Amino acid sequence: MTGGTGYIGSHTVLELLNDGFEVVVMDNLINSSSESLKRVENITGKSVDFYQLDLLDKEGLNNLFGKYEFDAVIHFAGLKAVGESVEKPLFYYQNNVTGTLNLCEIMQKHEVYNMVFSSSCTVYGEPDVVPITEDESLSAVNPYGQTKLTIEYILKDLYRSDNRFNISLLRYFNPVGAHKSGEIGEDPNGIPNNLMPYVTQVAIGNLKKLRVFGDDYPTHDGSGVRDYIHVVDLAHGHLKALEKLKENPGIDVYNLGTGTGYSVLDVIKAFEDATGENVPYEIVDRRPGDAAAVYADPSKAKNELNWEAQKDLVEMCRDAWNWQLKNPGGYN
């Protein structure tokens, strides 16, 4: 697993270990902590082989693949902050795209042909219709989303050139929540980019108030609507995708979301109801490039992967708050 110490990666490692997989994790730790894996090991009672390694280090990558006989790769590694990607596009293309090219070359060299790729709903840009099916037109509106879309095209071309590959492209929506133990969760650097960790940090007093970007969208309360999915549900989706690869399906794409859209104000109310905490907020101008509503049609994943989200918004809020209370300073 690349990027396995990160938010979604660490939760997926935990579920893989519980399901009997042997897991090797590589991560450059640029925006994550290896502490997450120590906690995963404590929760599961199982060990993980960890290598601090960057995908841009092709020689190191080759050496790693020479040490093991891998059955499959789950590819999470990538920079993911939309705002930063606008400021530093070359950094994002170099890291996300070139890193993936290196990974694919080394996989092919060592005859490892199964991959689950961590894509994103950002590849849909500003969708014309919701809910979004996998057939919706693709048009990323920022460099981060464009790197995900570029990698999807690369992987599709790779499969066309070598159909020994089996690749699952998972386009997920807005991961939130944490493991019920409160031992692992989302630990963003600096001021959070995503809504839920921003909400929890306001609730615990690390930040004064939440900024709500726009209250004049054509939605039920004027604030932006998104599809929030519990990170543990998302982790289970990766296990289902791995299982599907055993059938040699070639390359395919799946939305991982709940199929329900919640507004920013809905999330604030649900959090306050679930935790009893107050979340002060202010309405500010819209952010450029933000769509009014983005939520999934997840029926393809249900039909073909036998997967669907199980946890509701209240559970997402409760688990996120449990993680924040137990870890007010994150892993550090």
pLDDT of residue 193: 78
Structure tokens, 213: 């970007």
pLDDT of residue 280: 97
pLDDT of residue 38: 98
pLDDT of residue 289: 73
pLDDT of residue 179: 98
3-state secondary structure 103-128: HHHHHHHCCCCEEEEEEEHHHHCCCC
Name residues of the chain where pLDDT drops below 50.
none
Q: Are 70 and 113 in contact (CB under 8 A)?
A: no
pLDDT of residue 15: 98
**Domain layout of the chain by residue ranges:** 7-326
pLDDT of residue 82: 83
Helix axes 58-67, 99-109, angle to 10 degrees: 40
281 catalytic residue (yes or no): no
Give the DSSP per-residue string, 171-201.
EE-EEE---TTSSS----SSS-SSHHHHHHH
pLDDT of residue 128: 86
Of 12, 24, 85, nearest to 52 by C-alpha is: 24
CATH class entry, domain 7-326: alpha beta
Judge if the upstream peptide bond of residue 131 is cis by omega within 30 degrees of 0: yes
pLDDT of residue 146: 96
Structure tokens, 265: 């104000």
**CA pair distance 126, 311, nearest whole angstrom:** 26
Q: Rounded to whole angstroms, what are the CA distances from 269 to 48, 123, 279, 314?
A: 39, 29, 9, 10
Which of 92, 144, 198, 295 is the catalytic position? 144
